[in-house]
Structure formats: C-alpha cells, structure tokens
Amino acid sequence: MTWQPIHSAPYGKDLELSVIENGEVHALVFPCRRGVNGWINVLTGAPVPVRPTHWRYWPEEKGGR
C-alpha cells in the first residue's frame, strides 16, 4: 500500500507511520495506533513523540501484534 496523508489515518489499527525530514521519508520501525490523545507505540504502549506526516497499514511480515 502506498503512503496516505496522516489526516486520513484510521483509529484502532496497527499502522506504519512516516515523517518527512530534510525532504526524505523516514518510516518508524514499530507499529503505531491512533488514539484520541495522539499516537501510541503498539509494542510498548508509550506515546509516540513525533508528528507523522503519512501512514500505511503495518505489514504482517514485519511482526506487528
């Protein structure tokens, strides 16, 4: 799946997030979920301290939850 704009990210799904830094796309290496209060690392339950710009579904082969 191609990257989608962050405003369209669904709630309650394991997602791969990306940020754009210096004109380059960098994907986070852990699955995240969108919650009412922001983004959560699925593996640790900790808040994600970045402002993602894009999302796509977390690939099963990466070993999400």
Closest CA to 9 of 46, 38, 44: 38
Contact, 52 vs 8, CB < 8 A?
no
pLDDT digits 0-9 by tens, 19-63: 988 988 899 999 999 999 999 999 999 999 999 999 999 987 666
What pLDDT, on a 0 to 100 scale, did the predictor assign at position 13? 96
Owner of token pair 């900790």? 46
How does DSSP classify residue 12?
Answer: S
Q: Tell me, what DSSP letter sits at residue 47? A: B
pLDDT band of 10, cuts 50, 70, 90: very high
| Number of neighbours of residue 48 by Cβ within 10 angstroms | 19
Which H helix or E strand runs over 6? none
